[in-house]
Amino acid sequence: MSFPTRLEDITPEWLSDVFGSKVSFTLETLGEGPGYVSDMTRLNLSSDDSSVPRKAIVKVNPSFEGANEIARRYALFEREALFYKEAAAATPIRTPHVYFADADVANSRGIILMEDCSYLETRPSVSDTPPTPNEIRSVMNSAARLHAYWWNRDPGECPWAMTPDDALFQTFMMDCAEGWPAFTNSELMALLPSDAQALAERLPEEFGPKMLKAMPRDRLTLCHLDFHIDNMFFEPGADDPIVLFDWAGASWGRGTNDIAYFLGFVLDPETRRANEIEALNHYHETLVANGVTDYSRDELTTDYKLGTLFALWVVPIAVANLDMSSDYAHKLISNVVTNKFSAALDHGATEILDSL
């Protein structure tokens, strides 16, 4: 089926083909402008067919050229569309139900038409209330089931997901490295204690090449990469309460990359330290319960330590691309900087860099 790649090209005829019934619609804008790597809107749907949802979310490439350039450079939009088209149904965790997803890879364009999950709860990153231990446990459970299912599979099953040896992944890592001076020369450095500042000063030269060298090449699994609480919906009381979305960064790696990213993103150092061991234990136990038999708890600890250093990639990316003029964005990046550097230093980031 052919498909539109701009919001203005969506028609009742196309939606009727997707749902198999006559459909009309109106648009309800959700977000636009710099900082978004897609244009996203809600469709309010009308149909005599009761199986057609009353609402749906549609995502297409961003109309803002700066954001679209980022999306093209890293193949973000087509990667997410192809995850939903080819992998979401098999992946044994909750993701938004997708009615249609496809990508024109040659032109780096695509469309995703999916469930409107606004009936579920969210847990914003910038909050005075951190996730509860039970919520952290639920996130670990979902991550372990995701990683166990894709554990040690052939990356060719999801060729659109980056591997550590992909040229695109290497470009991404080197772009991160080039972005570090913008951080080290910013006011955000003042948020860090002296040992964290010393670590940050090393990263422009060392982060990209040393992370590329250190990334494991065996026992890989499909990772989300941007695995943080703003990319999750919550349904308290459900047997499977986490719905994970925004798969533009899907990549092959050790699952601890996702775990370190999550725990070091939203949790302040005190909360992370209080919950970290239990979270890692539950993650490993759930991996084993779902069939992973070649990965010890000690190996997980080693990978997690590396993951806390790797998770710093988000700092230069955020500094380069977030609009810091809003109080929310400034608070978000400030929290991320302090939380992630704290996690990395707690787990020997300086010593890891020295060893590589």
Q: Which residue has the tokens 């009936």?
A: 119
List all residues 6 or more positions away from 244 whose beta carbon is below 8 Å from its beta carbon: 93, 94, 95, 142, 146, 224, 227, 231, 232
CB 168 within 8 A of CB 75: yes
Does residue 34 surpass a pLDDT of 50? no
- For residue 344 the two structure tokens come to 């990395």
Neighbour tally for 156: CB within 10 Å: 7
Q: Output the pTM of the full model.
A: 0.95
Q: Range(s) for CATH 3.30.200 in the chain?
A: 7-115
Beta strand ranges found along 98-159 (DSSP E) = 98-104, 109-115
Q: How many CA atoms lie within 13 A of 8 on its CB side?
A: 2
Euclidean distance between CA atoms 81 and 179, whole angstroms: 27
Residue 57 and residue 96 in contact, taking contact as beta carbons nearer than 8 Å: yes
- What CATH number labels 7-115? 3.30.200
- pLDDT at residue 87 above 90? yes
What is the arrangement of strands in the sheet containing 109-115, beginning at the earlier edge strand? Answer: 24-31, 39-46, 55-60, 109-115, 98-104
Give the model's pLDDT for residue 35.
Answer: 45
pLDDT at 268 over 50: yes
pLDDT tens digit sequence for 301-311: 999 999 999 99
Q: What is the pLDDT of residues 192-207, one digit of tens each?
A: 999 999 999 999 999 9
The architecture (CATH level 2) of 133-355 comes to: Alpha-Beta Complex (3.90)
Give, in order, the Cα–Cα distances in Å from 30 to each of 43, 69, 78, 123: 10, 21, 21, 18
> Average pLDDT of 318-331?
81
| CATH 3.90.1200.10 residue window(s) in the chain | 133-355
pLDDT at 68 over 50: yes
Q: Provide the pLDDT for residue 73.
A: 87
Most trustworthy range by pLDDT among 107-121, 160-174, 276-290: 276-290
| Mean pLDDT within 312-333 | 86
Q: Is the predicted pLDDT of residue 37 greater than 70, yes or no?
A: no
Strand partners, 228: none
* pLDDT value at 108 more than 70: yes
